[in-house]
Structure 1
Amino acid sequence: MKKITLFITMLATASMLVAQKVDLDRFNFRYLTRTLPTNPLPDGYKTYHFNIASSASVREVYNDDRIKQTLTLNGLKHNEGKGHITINMNLGEVSLKNPELKEREEVIKDKDGKETGRKKYYWIEAVYAWTGEVNVTDYKGTKLYSTTIGVGNTIWKGAESENKGTPGDYYNNNKYAIRSAIATDVVTNSMQRLSFGLNRMYGYGTITDADFLWLLDSKKHPENDAMKKAWASFKEAVSLMNEKDEITPVKEKMIPVIQYLDSLKTRITGTEKADKKLRYAAYYSLAKIYLILDEPDKAIKEAELLIVNDYDTNDGKTLISLANDLKASFEKNKINTRHFPIDISKYSAPEGN
């Protein structure tokens, strides 16, 4: 009887040791996909053009052609004469004004901390500002969007000098060059932000997205080899994914991975923390796979099971939120995938006035 009891104890101890070795690591991956606009244009709106009025100080550093190159809308075609939408821009002068001499005094001390002298330093501060108005209208005259770009009153600070007259002389002799440098900086930054915003609203960009799966990384665990094999199959499948090709071949390649992760949910049935942790990895990875495969409803089901599993339940809520965001984007864009070809050479401007 004692031998039987000892054997059972040893089995239990061995089981606990295995359970303690359920370590999960992030397995990172990247995949190509297409972004969908947050404010999709009406059906058939495929072209755009510009109506630009800019000041001399802007044209000096950022001419109309450069603006058009910076504000390329991904997935839409630019037409010089007319487009389904017009990006109207009124870009004001870059101002530089109110130069003022500033000074500071520096106390000089020896190694014992005793004051040995004082020095004064001088510099010029001036105020610069720039604003531009941007609005987007369609060819029927409907206003779709408007915003103000630029910077409010901001301090420009010149280099310090021990000579009181040097900063003022430098400013007076170089104020137009100073203004040009400021204009280059503020206009470039504003155009880049505007490009990002307009593309987010209307464009179909291509991105390499980064994500991860939680997978087992415990060499002595009986599922370790199978998990590595599933990961290898996943990497092979996801490498086929791009933004312009239909996603069905990727889904077919992903079937063995999904089947293996599904099997963990039924084979690992214990209530110990280690078992919950392994099931959590299966639910989480399945939800992520369904998200990248553009199947948000399936992702939500896995996330709900993750919550019921009662291990890192906040991840389940996050996954549900991501899936609902994807569903909303699909509904808004009247589409069910982020993988499709775009050939802007086939797009033409609207006919008529």
Structure 2
Amino acid sequence: MKRIITFLLLTLVLPAFSQSVNLDKFYLNLSYVILPPKPVVDKTKRTYTVVLNAAKGLNYDDAEDDIDNIIKIDGFRPLATKGYLAIATYLQNPEIVSSEVKTIENKVKNSKGVETIERTYKVVVAYKGEGRVVVTCAEDPSLNDSEEFKESYTKTSPIFSEYKDANDYLYNFSRIMRNDYIGDFANKFGNKVNRNYGFRIYNTTDNLWILASKKHPEFDSNNNAFAETKGIFDFMKYNEPVAPMLTELQTTIKYFEEIDKKFTSVEKPDKKLRYGAYYNLATIYYYLDMPDESDIWCDKLIANDYDAGDGKYIKRRNDELRKSFAINQVNTRHMDVAVKVEKPKTEKINFDAAYSLKNDPQFSAVTLVLSTNETITGYTKNTDIDNLDQKIAISIPDDKGVHNYSFRTYFADQVSKMTVNERDFFTVIPFKLGTQSGAEVSAKFVREVLNGKTVSIYQYYTGEVIVKKNSAPQGYSTNSVGWQMNPRGKFIELADSCPKLAARANNKEFQNNINSLRTFVEALDMCN
């Protein structure tokens, strides 16, 4: 009889200790400063000057504008002369290696079935560019750096129906080639210089591992611990100390520490639960700028022998963080490094007298409607439209009405609408990037996708989709945590004026992608 009772007790007790353990990734919002490998430690000396040394063929100011606008160092002030860092750029004339006007022949039949040959043309040009950038610091030569630039390019033109147009494109290719070469040079070295010296503000996300097995007795406590942690990290700012966060996180930290003492068996469910706790503690301490404390839990991760590689990876990051602290003579990645952005300025670009932006394929016609209701028309670079964020440079006509000399920069908060080539429409709305959750809400240019009666869809230049109620002051990115984790709830919220559509949303008929959003807004318009 005792054996039967013992067996029954075991069958009741064992499931409690063999609960399956599944872990899911849940994300924290983070904001901090990426510390440079070549820092100027004294904040008062963080200034720089850019000097352009260009070959005679690059005899227009556009080169200087591109270099000045793209080569920037975060956390530094640019000076016209005598910057603490002197950035000298050396540009050679790009050289054409080969060029060809290719004829494309297609057989077509007319309405009577007669076959003819249709000819179109395209230009293919191969060219190369070389240059160099040299950074020097008279006071501290250890900051000196030099990089060579050697690139080969192949450019293919649009298709032309007339040979003459293709030949004209080839004839004017030198200007296109110079613009592309200078832009590529400036982008490459602008990024390199900023990575070496800049104090870059970084807004991102990273995950913790949280219990997803609802029947496990730790499910509620584990998920509550994450909710509390996320609520605290949501307020992380790159320019505010993290010590108060550590104080607020003590309850969560103690909870994860207790997992280590409570679930001690070598069975896989316990090892997975400990893995989650160790990983979370190591990650939390890493982002609180406490690499030594993080290492303690990395060692436990490795010893636990469940995905030990994660412990080794975080430990490597801790080592890199300690080295970065030592080089920068700090003990945190949270500091005020922002530099005030200059207000709009008029930029000068000198071309030959016969040149006009109207005929340059690298530029598009643009109409701006300012917030003052004033209308501005001009031309802007196609590359600027492709990377349109918070400002746009528009050409200003000369005294003869020709657009070929000057540009003026307009910031997003000065503009309400923009049209490109009379067929591509942009608007300005305030929103926060979903991929940079710690960033502030700010006005940005977005392409109009669908203007609904109550809800509209826009797209940021990175591809990020923005949804905005027409009556709301700001839009919301569908890359945000709320949209990513609960798209059904977001659709139901948008459909509050249409119960039938809300029911469809509740049945998960709509997905978080641009085509499904179109379908939803169109259905909402029909309902209203």
Q: TM-score range by the shorter chain?
A: 0.7 to 0.9
Quote the offset at 1:107 in angstroms. 9.3
Secondary structure of the 1:30 match is strand
Pairing 1:256–2:255 present = no
Distance 2:157 2:40 in 1: 46
The 1:335/1:42 distance shift into structure 2, 3 A limit, reads: closer
Distance 2:57 2:27 in 1: 47
Quote the offset at 1:193 in angstroms. 2.2
CA contact (8 A) 1:244 1:341 kept: yes
Partner residue, 1:14: 15
CA contact (8 A) 2:282 2:314 kept: yes
The 1:57/1:4 distance shift into structure 2, 3 A limit, reads: farther
Partner residue, 1:47: 47
Partner residue, 1:297: 292
The 1:273/1:61 distance shift into structure 2, 3 A limit, reads: farther
The 1:309/1:54 distance shift into structure 2, 3 A limit, reads: same
Secondary structure of the 1:135 match is strand
Secondary structure of the 1:19 match is coil
The 1:5/1:302 distance shift into structure 2, 3 A limit, reads: same
CA contact (8 A) 1:206 1:243 kept: yes
**Paired residues, number:** 332
Q: Which amino acid aligns with 1:318?
A: Y
Quote the offset at 1:141 in angstroms. 8.8
CA contact (8 A) 1:150 1:190 kept: no
Distance 1:176 1:247 in 2: 60
Higher relative contact order structure (alpha carbons within 8 Å, sequence separation ≥ 6): 1
The 1:10/1:75 distance shift into structure 2, 3 A limit, reads: same
Distance 1:106 1:170 in 2: 19
Partner residue, 2:128: 129
Distance 1:249 1:62 in 2: 48
Task: Write the mapping of 1:1-353 to structure 2, written as runs, cut at 5 A.
Answer: 1=1, 2-15=3-16, 18-20=18-20, 22-41=21-40, 43=42, 45-55=45-55, 58=58, 60=60, 62-96=62-96, 98-102=98-102, 123-140=122-139, 142=141, 144-149=144-149, 151-152=151-152, 154-159=153-158, 166-167=162-163, 169-175=164-170, 177-342=172-337
Quote the offset at 1:194 in angstroms. 1.5
Q: Which amino acid aligns with 2:303?
A: V
Quote the offset at 1:38 in angstroms. 1.4
Quote the offset at 1:48 in angstroms. 0.8
Quote the offset at 1:66 in angstroms. 3.6
Secondary structure of the 1:294 match is coil
CA contact (8 A) 2:74 2:338 kept: no
Q: TM-score, normalised by structure 1?
A: 0.84
Distance 2:168 2:137 in 1: 46
Distance 2:229 2:140 in 1: 49
CA contact (8 A) 2:213 2:219 kept: yes
CA contact (8 A) 2:133 2:189 kept: no
The 1:3/1:207 distance shift into structure 2, 3 A limit, reads: same
What is the RMSD computed on CA atoms of the aligned residues? 2.9
CA contact (8 A) 1:39 1:201 kept: yes
Secondary structure of the 1:222 match is coil
Distance 1:170 1:240 in 2: 57
Q: Which amino acid aligns with 2:309?
A: N
Between stretches 277-286 and 74-83, larger displacement belongs to 74-83
Q: Higher helix fraction: Structure 1 or Structure 2?
A: 1
CA contact (8 A) 1:150 1:187 kept: no
Q: Which amino acid aligns with 2:69?
A: Q
Quote the offset at 1:118 in angstroms. 8.9
Secondary structure of the 2:19 match is helix
CA contact (8 A) 2:29 2:236 kept: no
1:295-353: per-residue Cα shift (whole Å, max 9, x none)?
A: 111111101111111111111111111111111111111111001123658xxxxxxxx
Quote the offset at 1:159 in angstroms. 4.9
Distance 1:106 1:26 in 2: 54
Q: Which amino acid aligns with 1:35?
A: I
Distance 1:6 1:24 in 2: 31
Distance 1:11 1:271 in 2: 21
| Identity between Structure 1 and Structure 2 (%) | 28
The 1:176/1:62 distance shift into structure 2, 3 A limit, reads: farther
CA contact (8 A) 2:121 2:166 kept: no
Report which of the two structures shows the higher radius of gyration computed on alpha carbons. Answer: 1
Secondary structure of the 2:36 match is coil
Distance 2:101 2:157 in 1: 10
Partner residue, 1:111: none
Unpaired runs of 5+ residues, structure 2, are: 109-114, 341-528
Q: Which amino acid aligns with 2:76?
A: L
Distance 1:125 1:343 in 2: 44
